[in-house]
């Protein structure tokens, strides 16, 4: 039996908006701002989570954790499926995002390192030992203009 399609109400949008402003807000805090009861907020959040429409997570700050080098790694694959190479790269603790992509390169990975001294070992000892990598082009992030996680559009949202 198919589940009915999930539809966001104005109340759902308002709750998500409050969580985006302050992910640590309690149900009581959100309820007070929106003129709802805490149990209504709780049940709405649970409903959105169960429908896989909302996931509340904590996001850490790279600099606050001592990571001073962010790296984009473009990888060209040969002799092995890109998805397998991407899975191996995703297993490296320094790698925080891996995407199989179209274009000249097959994989795009984002890497966080504590400092530049870690760069040679990361590239030469870890990445270069992943089977199937034909070439890699590392690019050092020199400035972050936008770093936002609340980018997934909510159906019907204007935000």
Query: What is the chain's mean pLDDT, rounded?
Result: 88
Q: Span 8-25, mean pLDDT?
A: 89
Chain centroid to Cα 61, Å, comes to 13
Query: For 45-60, what is each residue's pLDDT tens digit?
Result: 999 999 888 887 776 6
Residue 20: strand, helix, or coil:
helix
Give the CA angle between residues 96, 18, 41 to the nearest 5°. Answer: 110
Residue 64: strand, helix, or coil:
helix
Torsion of CA 33, 34, 40, 46, to 10 degrees: -80
Q: What integer pLDDT is reported at residue 157 of this predicted model?
A: 45
Give the pLDDT band of residue 33 (cuts 50, 70, 90).
very high
Give the pLDDT band of residue 155 (cuts 50, 70, 90).
low
pLDDT of residue 1 exceeding 80, the answer is no
Of 31-35, 61-65, 154-158, which has the strongest mean pLDDT? 31-35
Query: For 63-73, what is each residue's pLDDT tens digit?
Result: 777 888 999 99
pLDDT of residue 147 exceeding 70, the answer is yes
pLDDT of residue 153 exceeding 80, the answer is no
pLDDT of residue 131 exceeding 90, the answer is yes
- The matching CATH number, chosen from 3.90.1580.10, 3.40.50.300, 1.10.20.140, 1.10.10.10, for 10-50 is 1.10.10.10
pLDDT of residue 75 exceeding 90, the answer is yes
Q: Where in the chain is the domain with CATH 1.10.10.10?
A: 10-50
pLDDT of residue 154 exceeding 90, the answer is no
CATH fold of 63-140, please? Alpha-Beta Plaits (3.30.70)
Among all chains, which residue has been given the structure tokens 């990598």? 133
Q: Where in the chain is the domain with CATH 3.30.70.920?
A: 63-140
């Amino acid at each position: 039996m198919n589940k009915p399609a999930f539809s966001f109400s104005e109340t759902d949008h308002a709750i998500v908006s409050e969580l985006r402003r302050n992910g640590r807000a309690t149900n009581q805090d959100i309820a007070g701002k929106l003129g709802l009861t805490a149990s209504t907020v709780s049940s709405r959040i649970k409903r959105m989570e169960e429908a896989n429409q909302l996931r509340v997570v904590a996001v850490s700050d790279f600099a606050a954790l001592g990571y001073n080098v962010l790296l984009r790694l473009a990888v060209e694959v040969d002799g092995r499926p890109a998805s397998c190479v991407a899975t191996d790269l995703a297993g490296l603790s320094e790698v925080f995002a891996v995407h199989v992509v179209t274009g000249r390169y097959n994989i795009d990975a984002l890497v966080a390192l504590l400092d530049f001294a870690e760069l040679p070992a990361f590239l030469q000892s870890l990445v270069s030992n992943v089977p199937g990598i034909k070439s890699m082009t590392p690019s050092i992030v020199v400035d972050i203009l936008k770093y936002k996680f609340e980018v997934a559009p909510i159906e019907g949202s204007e935000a």
